[in-house]
Amino acid sequence: AFSLRRAMRLILAAAICSCGGVGAFLLCGPATKAPAALRATGDDAVLGGAVGVAIVAANRLLLAGELPAPAQSRADLLSVFACCFLILDGLSRREVETKIADKVPLSASTRGKGLSAALCPRRRDLVDWAATTLLESLPDAATVFIWAATPLGASGASGTLARIGALGDESKVDVENAPTIRTALEQSAPTYIPDLQALPARVEFPFLPRNTQAALLVPWTTTTTSDDAQEATGLVVIAADRRRPFSPRDQLWATQIAERLADLL
């Protein structure tokens, strides 16, 4: 019995040393210079760490008492820490790809373009340019809605300035019953809603298709001539037909277009 226990101990010690050598190679080995068959991957590191934890557990259960308890506990603790570090390193090196949500056909009442008749020809062309640019340059944009909170210039045009793409049932914005829109105007900061259907705030956007998947609200501002203070003048709302569609780069691009529109108006 003693010889069998000693043999098992030697086998487990050899296995632990082997896992330690593989772990050192996976952690410190030059993966870029190693042959393709020997290059370490995240899955290899996770597998090596899991095997190491299993061997330490087997050593603890089968060979308990071979070493003094304090020494055995310290050795097992260090081994478990090393294996856990190997597992975490492997998980950090794994390539994780975010699944892109599928596109959803929007239940739009109609599709087309509508521009405010109160705009002068120059401002109408500017609003048309901004709406068309956003719709065509953002791959997942399905609707662009431009709205003015205050009258513009001598024409006094306000309210809905442009609608393009998949249109909703309404053409007006009820700011009093839309706290999300009101907050965006008050803070003069973009508001991104990556999953609109998951929020009660979806009822605040009757001017968008009912099953709009995501929305980006970009306030556009004008600079007053008195104190150069910026105040929210209007809002650009971009709707999408898939969840989580707009990257930070898309949001920055939409903000730049909105600011350019405000400067030109």
> What is the reported pLDDT for 252?
93
Q: What is the pLDDT of residue 39?
A: 47
- Convert the pLDDT of each residue in 35-72 to its tens digit: 444 445 667 777 877 887 887 777 777 666 655 667 66
Q: Which residues pair with 2 in a beta bridge?
A: none
Question: Could you tell me the two tokens for 153?
Answer: 């210039």
Distance CA 166, CA 208 (A): 8
In this prediction, residues 30-36 reach a mean pLDDT of 46
Residue length of the chain: 265
Q: How far apart are the first and last CA of the chain?
A: 92
Percentage of residues in the chain having pLDDT higher than 70: 72
Token reading at 231: 């105040």
pLDDT above 90 for 253: yes
Torsions phi, psi of 157, nearest 5?
A: -70, 135
DSSP state of 38: G
pLDDT tens profile 80-98: 777 787 788 777 776 655 6
pLDDT number for residue 30:
44
Joined tokens for residue 53: 């934890």
Residue 54 CA from chain centroid, whole number: 36
The predicted structure's pLDDT at residue 152? 74
Write out the H or E segment, with its range, that includes residue 254: helix 248-264
How does strand 157-167 pair with strand 141-152? antiparallel
157-167 sheet: strands from edge to edge: 110-115, 157-167, 141-152, 230-240, 214-223, 191-193
- Higher model confidence: residue 67 or residue 205? 205
Query: For residues 46-79, b (16+ Cβ closer than 10 Å) or e, as one string?
Result: bbbbebbbebbeebbeebeeeeeeeebeeeeeeb
